[in-house]
Amino acid sequence: MNVLLDNLDLFGPFFLRTIELFVLSAVGSLIWGTILAMLRVSPVPVFRAVGTAYVTIARNTPLTLVFAFFVFAYPLLDIVKVDYFPAAVIALTVYTSAFICEVVRSGINTVPVGQAEAGRALGLTFGQILGQVVLPQALRSVVPPLISTLIALLKNTTIAAGFSVAEAGAIRSYLSERGENQLVGLLWVALGFIILVAVLSFVQRSLEKRWSVAR
């Protein structure tokens, strides 16, 4: 208990940083993943090919490697300077959006064709059909896998600790500088993640109950 109480100045801000990293990357990957999903179901073969290529490469590359690229290699290319924290958000977004894309796409596939056909018969435009008929149903049917992907994202934020971002995964190295017991410190970090995951699971269950589509 002392390890936690004596170092609250570490645990507090570092876990906040983790949550910040998680929220920013979650929003980023939801947006980018949905765009990728739309590319993958579009009627234009070129768009489909681009989406498929992106998802295949991103899903089969270790996240640590994506981080390594953005932190070590990208600065050499002299494009736009990014700091460690934004680089971590970009790396997490680039990787997670591929998984979000697959979840959203499977959701779109669960919507019966008749729904959109009915929409078209009523004279709705493409944007209206997508925004008011298909996507709401698709997103509701994929709440559980979507949140599971976000839970994986939350756990993946720890990798940023290996790349100079001061988040929960980095608490250990600071504790070791202070000469604290690392085993106990790590168990507290683990407990922190268990609590955060439990919160997300709770959100998942309540959304599932409230949003389930009767089909």
| List 35, 68, 124, 207, residue binding another protein (CB under 8 A) | 68
Give 26-32 contacts, CB < 8 A, sequence gap 24+: 26/96, 26/150, 26/153, 28/89, 28/90, 28/92, 28/93, 28/97, 29/92, 29/93, 29/96, 29/97, 29/99, 29/100, 29/153, 30/100, 32/93, 32/97, 32/100
Q: How far is the CB of 30 from another protein (least distance, A)?
A: 14
Q: Is 177 among the residues that bind another protein (CB under 8 A)?
A: no
Q: Determine the Cα–Cα distance for residues 124 and 129; give it in Å rounded to an integer.
A: 6
Q: Is 35 among the residues that bind another protein (CB under 8 A)?
A: no
Cβ proximity to another protein, 13 vs 181, nearer residue: 181
Residues present in the chain in total: 215
Concatenated DSSP letters for 81-146? ---HHHHHHHHHHHHHHHHHHHHHHHHHHHS-HHHHHHHHHTT--HHHIIIIIIHHHHHHHTHHHH
Q: How far is the CB of 206 from another protein (least distance, A)?
A: 17
Q: How far is the CB of 143 from another protein (least distance, A)?
A: 11
Among 9-17, 85-93, 108-116, 206-214, the segment contacting another protein (CB under 8 A)? 108-116
Using a 10 angstrom Cβ sphere, with 0-12 exposed, 13-18 middle and 19 or more buried, the burial of residue 97 is: buried
Q: Is 120 among the residues that bind another protein (CB under 8 A)?
A: yes
Q: How far is the CB of 133 from another protein (least distance, A)?
A: 9
Phi, psi of 179 (to 5 degrees): 75, 25
Q: How far is the CB of 93 from another protein (least distance, A)?
A: 14
| List 27, 31, 57, 122, residue binding another protein (CB under 8 A) | 57
| List 4, 19, 47, 128, residue binding another protein (CB under 8 A) | 47
Give the footprint of another protein on this chain (CB under 8 A).
Answer: 41-47, 50, 56-57, 59-65, 68-69, 72-73, 76-79, 96, 99, 103, 106, 108-109, 111-113, 115-116, 120, 126, 129-130, 134, 144-146, 148-149, 151-152, 155-159, 161-162, 169, 172, 176, 181-183, 186-187, 189-190, 193-194, 197-198
